[in-house]
Chain A
Amino acid sequence: MQPGGTLVAAIRSEPRTFNRYASRDLTTEIISRLTQDKLIRINRATDQIEPRLADRWTRSADGLEYTLHLRPGVEFSDGVPFTSADVLFSFKAVYDPKTASPLGDAMRVGGRPLQVSAPTPSTVVIRFPSPFAPGLRLLDNLPILPRHLLQKALDQGTLASAWGPATPPSQMAGLGPFVLSEYQPGQRLVFTRNPHFWGKDARGRPLPYLDRLILDIVPDQNAELLRLEAGQIDMTTDAVRPEDYRSLKQAADQGRVKLIDLGVGLNADSLWFNLNRKSKAGDPRAAWLQSEAFRRAISYAVDRRRFADTVYLGEGVPVYGPISPANHTWFWTGTPETPYDPARARALLAGLGLTDRQGNGRLEDRAGRPVRFTLLTAKGSTALERGASVIRDALAKVGVTVDVVGLDVGALVQRFTTNAYDAVYFSVYSTDTDPALQLDFWLSSGSAHLWNFGEQTPATPWEAQIDDLMRRQVAAPRLADRQALFDQVQKIFAEHLPVLQFVAPRIYVAMSTRVTNATPALQRPQLLWNPEVLAVRGSSGTR
């Protein structure tokens, strides 16, 4: 590995902030990974936790308390020593109601914050409010902030607006491998190596390898790919779109770029219906729109192979449950597969009293009303828009009329949170492979409980069962027990199908041939999750 050189990556949007506690978008996450560090990080390649600012830890007998020993001699990029006071400060900041940090909820267990104390400047004790099997994985969410620079903002209740894009780089400091040295609005961010970064490679050489890492702001994805092929950038922001795969494969075959197949993705786009009884009270369609048989009919009516071919141009695999087969630890191998069977779909629909009474190929209910619903999706995502079209066409073949409506994400979220919708087709990204860190999806009271938002107590016995199993799963100390419990959750899910998945796309990433030592991962940011080890060939010069 030759140290030095400059790597240019693309980002799609301007930085909203340099403060990860104030924003959850991908650009902020990337900047945070470049400039800040965490006590513990999930190695995205192995999916295991690895020590960062905490180099070792012990767990109490009851499993609730962890004592973390901080790496000695670590300094912020401005030379100020890092101590446990910075860890305390970071926890205080993330839980501060005035900050209203999007990280705050991810740092709670059962809705309650962790209790943190610092017996010495190099020791931190973290106590979980209840048994929590993923344990320190939770800390992957929390970059450590410099108390000496942000204490005043926290005291004044202005931490959320601290470190905005207008902040001069000299007023910020971090523990990450790079420091921001220049921001040219609308064009690029230039990061240079942090001379105080603690990391060293296996041979004892200081990390990061790169002298500079530049994030070019390229809002258009087509232009981003052209720049990559022309050698003007070294890597793209996100996974390759299905429609770009062929041209990139050609460029890879010609040796112009590297195209890496990361395998089947962890996330499949999801279709769910509004099962909130109150919001559909008085809607004559509720009897069939909220029924399990209707969802099962849809599952039979959609040809997942064709879906993969049309939406992902063949680069996807059918999925039948909420956990992708790529999530090896948690995927239930017994997940029942639903074959493409339109006849069975029609039979299920007929069982609900939905038949073609007028002989026009479209179904009506017993009162003669058309079987029709609106499917909301996010505007601007080609995969989602194509997927929604495939669903519409598949359902038209069994007589169900679907009106696909594309909305901005903000508008879609508003319709979702007010339960003002029939059905939604959307990408819901999981931030971790461990289901215990996605309780907001699984628990009926969770904020990402897609099919019945705002539900306080389980609306159905099977949701109560899932709640109970998930609570036990989170607390179970042994992995095998947790897996067995989660298999049961997936079984119940398959029986009731509150959310339908069709295809998980294969994930490809592309980078220039001069990039070395990259360890791409399935989760975002696929290529920049460990920027300290990235290197480039021919690094004596700069770009």
Chain B
Amino acid sequence: MVRYLLRRLGFAVLLVFVVASASLVLTRLAPGDFATEAFGLGANPRTVARARARYGLDEPILTQYGLWLAHAARLDFGTSLLYGRPVAQLIPQRAANTALLALAALLLATLVGLPLGVVSGSRPGPLATAIRLVSLLLLSMPPLVTSLLFVFVAARTGWFPIGGMSSLDVSGFGLVRDVLWHLTLPAVALALPVAAMFERLQSQAMAEALTQPFVLAARARGVPPGRLIWRDALRVAIRPCASVYGLVVGTLLSGSFIVEIVTAWPGLGRLMYDALRARDVYLVTGCAAAGALFLAAGSVISDLALAAADPRVRAQ
């Protein structure tokens, strides 16, 4: 298991390196750069050229990449052209906000999606049909639409804040409560399609598990239906969901991109969006690397969850 984890860790490092390198190279290769974006149309070419030289954008792409690599090896990921701050300072704060949003959404999706999947997969009938229909509806609604809808409802009702992460002039325990209040809408918007996906996966897996010989045998031995479903069958049926958990983390991060913009949540997605628009090559690279790190961490969590659910995986 330790060797396995080390292997996964090595893979994570490789993933982050490849994603970061590709982001830097692609951002540089795309037409335009930070200076053209910052100065806009009609700027004096000499002024733009001076700015380009100051930002090191006049260097050949290989030189810039080499310099970035040399600095990255010392954990210096460059200075954001947009904000004039080290990328390593900008990312953690925003990544923490995104992680909070993604974890809240993941928790919500798990707590809602899995039980509903178990119910709809084990008890065919009108309730299961209703759950399935709602899930299909939610699956077809991207987080953009859901978050816009929620923001609209919040504006009309005043039940929730329309955006942001905290109110002004709040501190201490009040701040925690305030952040949770602000977190509700973006987390729900992000969680709903994932909950629907969990429900669908879990429902099918549960329906299949209930036809397994060991379940039939347990039922024949008189094991109560509740225990049979929630303990014995669920242990087997959880595997499909556990195996996609890592991918879901990636989905949540990419989905949070648009939710963060609509709900003004100050996360990594919004930072990356701003960086991309401004062609801030180092910040884009840093954000992409952080995203890859999230994905790799999600993948490891997924593997661990699968190992916990399936003894055969642990034995490998």
Q: Which residues of A contact B93 (CB under 8 A)?
A: 185
Residues of B within 8 Å of A16, CB to CB, are 82-84, 278
A185 neighbours in B (Cβ, 8 Å): 93-94, 266
Within 8 A of A (CB), among B36-52: 36-45, 47-48, 50-51
Residue of B nearest to A448 (CB): B42
The verdict on A409 contacting B37 (CB below 8 Å), with A104-B47, A188-B164, A226-B151 known, is: yes
The verdict on A474 contacting chain B, using a C-beta distance below 8 Å, is no
Query: In the complex, which residues 486-543 of chain A have their Cβ closer than 8 Å to any Cβ of chain B?
Result: 542-543
Complex: A428 Cα to B44 Cα, angstroms? 15
Residues in B neighbouring A426, C-beta threshold 8 A: 41
Interface centre among A102, A161, A186 (most CB of B within 10 A): A186
With A16-B83, A166-B89 as known contacts, state yes or no: A219 contacts B32, CB within 8 Å: no
Q: Which of B38, B41, B165, B273 has the largest number of chain A CB atoms within 10 A?
A: B41
Is B155 an interface residue when CB atoms closer than 8 A count as contact?
Answer: yes
Interface flags, B253-278, vs A, CB<8A=1, else 0: 00000000111111100110110011
Are the CB atoms of A160 and B54 closer together than 8 Å? yes
Report whether A164 and B39 are in contact in the complex, using a CB–CB cutoff of 8 Å. Answer: no
Q: Contact between A410 and B36 (Cβ–Cβ < 8 Å)?
A: yes
Q: B199-219 interface mask toward A, CB cutoff 8 Å, 1 = contact, 0 = none?
A: 000000000000000000000
B117 contacts the other chain (CB 8 A): no
Q: Is the CB of A166 within 8 A of B83?
A: yes
| Minimal beta-carbon separation of B259 from chain A (angstroms) | 10
Which residues does chain B contribute within 8 Å of A448, judged by CB atoms?
41-42
Interface residues contributed by chain A, number (CB under 8 Å): 60
Which residues on A sit within 8 Å (CB–CB) of B85?
164-166
- Contact at B36–A164, with CB atoms within 8 Å? no
Q: Are B42 and A187 in contact (CB under 8 A)?
A: no
- CA distance in complex: A18, B166 (Å): 23
CB of B162 within 8 A of chain A? Answer: yes
- Cβ of B37 and Cβ of A102 under 8 Å apart? no
Q: How far is the CA of A69 from the CA of B262 in the complex (A)?
A: 49
Q: A24-B39, A102-B39, A226-B151 are in contact. Are A187 and B83 (CB under 8 A)?
A: no
B83 and A219 form a contact (CB under 8 A): no
Distance A428 CA – B89 CA, assembled complex (angstroms): 36
The CA-CA distance from A407 to B30 in the complex, in Å, is 11
**Contact call B166/A187, Cβ cutoff below 8 A:** yes
B47, A227: Cβ atoms closer than 8 Å: no
Q: In the docked arrangement, what's the CA distance between A416 and B32, Å?
A: 10
Does A155 lie at the interface of the complex (its beta carbon under 8 Å from any beta carbon of B)? no
**Do A410 and B33 have beta carbons less than 8 Å apart?**
yes
In the complex, residue of chain A having the shortest beta-carbon distance to the beta carbon of B166: A187
A343–B264 alpha-carbon span in the complex (Å): 51
How many whole Å from A241's CB to the nearest CB in chain B? 16
User: Inside 8 A of A230's CB, which chain B residues have their CB?
Assistant: 154-156, 158, 162
One of A223, A226, A447 near B45 (C-beta < 8 A): A447
Smallest beta-carbon distance A397→chain B, Å = 29
Q: Which of A39-47, A169-177, A210-218 lies on the face that meets chain B?
A: A210-218
Task: Specify which chain B residues have a CB less than 8 angstroms from the CB of A543 in the assembled complex.
Answer: 168
Interface residue ranges of B268-308 to A (CB < 8 Å): 270-271, 273-274, 277-279
Measured CA separation A417–B33 after assembly (Å)? 12
Contact pattern, A 79-116, Cβ under 8 Å of B = 1, otherwise 0: 00000000000000000011011101100000000000
Kindly list chain A residues whose C-beta atoms are within 8 Å of the C-beta of B97.
Answer: 186
Nearest Cβ in chain B — how far from A268, in angstroms?
Answer: 15
Please tell me if B152 contacts chain A, counting CB pairs below 8 Å. yes
Query: From A230, which residue of chain B is reached at the shortest CB distance?
Result: B155
Contacts of A407 in B (CB 8 A): 31
Contact among B34, B39, B169, B264 with A219 in the assembled complex (CB-CB below 8 Å): B264
B34 surroundings in chain A (CB, below 8 A): 410
Decide yes or no whether A2 CB sits under 8 A from chain B: no
Contact present for B163 and A416 (CB under 8 Å) = no
Contact A447/B148 with A232-B161, A408-B32 known, Cβ cut-off 8 Å: no
A221 to B151, CA, bound (A): 12
| Interface residues as binary, A147-190 with B (CB distance below 8 Å gives 1, 0 otherwise) | 00000000000001100111000000000000000001111101
Tell me whether A412 is interfacial, beta carbon within 8 Å.
yes
Q: Out of B152, B155, B264, B271, which one reaches A218, CB within 8 Å?
A: B264
Judge whether A102 and B33 touch: CB under 8 Å: no
The one of B38, B158, B264 in contact with A23, judged by C-beta atoms closer than 8 angstroms, is B38
7 example contacts (A-B, Cβ-Cβ < 8 A) are as follows A14-B274, A17-B84, A102-B43, A187-B166, A220-B262, A413-B37, A447-B45
Query: Assuming A97-B50, A190-B168, what are 5 further A-B pairs, CB within 8 angstroms?
Result: A187-B166, A232-B161, A407-B31, A413-B41, A414-B33
Binding site for A on B (CB under 8 A): 30-34, 36-45, 47-48, 50-51, 54, 82-85, 89, 93-94, 97, 148, 151-152, 154-156, 158, 161-166, 168-169, 261-267, 270-271, 273-274, 277-279
Top-3 shortest CB links A-B:
A186-B266, A448-B42, A410-B32
